[in-house]
Each structure stands twice: as structure tokens, then as C-alpha cells.
Amino acid sequence: MSDIIQTFMEEHKKISESMEDLKKKCLIFLEQDQIDLEEFREAVSFIRSFVDKQHHQREEKLLFQAMMEELGEVAVNLVQHGMMVEHDLARLYAGALDAALKDWEESPDGENKLQILANAMGYYYLMVRHIDRENQVIYPYARRSLSQETLQRLNKELENDTEIL
């Protein structure tokens, strides 16, 4: 049976690797004034399909929901005013990056370059900190505080979750 928290931490490794790749793309664009639009589009696609749809939405639907139901006000505050706000900010950065790439195609100027770099690096820094908070605070709190029955149910739900995957 899957371990939901371990699965999410493994996904964080994949996300962290992609964030380092995104930062490298930004440095090339900044220092060499070269951009591979297709690589940036692939990064946005990965963000939307894997980071948001597979990872964040499953966290929200499974783990965070269980934490709020079982652990009360502390979990509600951590989840609703912390993790879910950051998920929404990540979606905002991804959408703004996508729009900036389209604007660059129409007008490859300094303003659009700035928008690409600002939104890509905003997303990068948000995710680096977000992953650290989840790995160091949220997941240990969930593992320590949720009942074994709830954790086992979540593990099974993760295995059976075909709606989001």
C-alpha cells in the first residue's frame, strides 16, 4: 500500500528538480538574452499538469481535507491560510508566466522579458519555501497527529484516486 506522505515527499523531489531547471532557463535568458520558448512552455505545462493537477489538487482533496476534519482549528489555519493560499499563488504565477510568454512572442521587449523572469522566479521561490514548509512542518504534523485509521484510509484513497490522476 502507498504511503501518502512519502508519495508527496517523493513528488516534491521531482518538483524541486524542475524548479532548478526553471531557474537555469531564467539565468540563460537574463545573462545571454536567449530564450527557448518551447522549454518555458514545457515548464508551464509541467506546472499545470503535474505540480497543480497531480500534486496540489491531491494534497487538497485528500490530506488537507482529512487534516481539517480531524485536527480542528490549528489544521484549518495551517491549511486554509497557509498551504492553500500558496497553492493559489502558485497558480497565479503559472498563469502570469504563460501570459508573459505569449506577450513576448508578440513583442520581445524589456517589459515582457521582465514579466517572464519575475513570474518564473516568483514561482520558483514560492515553491522552494512551500516544499520546505510541507516537508518540515505540515507532513510531520499530519503523520504525528492524524489517526492511524485516517492515514491508512488516505493511503488507500491515494492508490484508488483515478479522478485527478
pLDDT at 62 exceeding the cut of 50:
yes
The mean per-residue pLDDT over the stretch 52-64 comes to 98
Residues 70-85: tens digit of each pLDDT: 999 999 999 999 999 9
Q: Note whether 67 and 151 are within 8 A (CB).
A: no
Q: Per-residue pLDDT tens for 133-146? A: 999 999 999 999 99
Residue 165 pLDDT level (bands cut at 50, 70, 90): very low
pLDDT band for position 162 (50/70/90)? low
Alpha helix ranges (H) inside the chain: 4-32, 37-46, 57-58, 65-71, 73-78, 84-106, 110-133, 139-145, 148-160
| Fold (topology level) of 4-160 | Four Helix Bundle (Hemerythrin (Met), subunit A) (1.20.120)
Residue 15 has pLDDT above 90, yes or no: yes
* pLDDT for residue 164 is more than 90: no
Question: pLDDT category, 2, cuts 50, 70, 90?
Answer: confident
Residue 153 — φ and ψ, nearest 5°?
-65, -45
User: What is residue 27's DSSP assignment?
Assistant: H
Residue-range domain boundaries for the chain:
4-160
User: What does the pLDDT read at residue 161?
Assistant: 82
pLDDT digits (tens, 9 = 90+) for 82-137: 999 999 999 999 999 999 999 999 999 999 999 999 999 999 999 999 999 999 99
Q: Which residues contact 21 (CB under 8 A, 6 or more apart)?
A: 43
27-46 pLDDT tens trace:
999 999 999 999 999 999 99
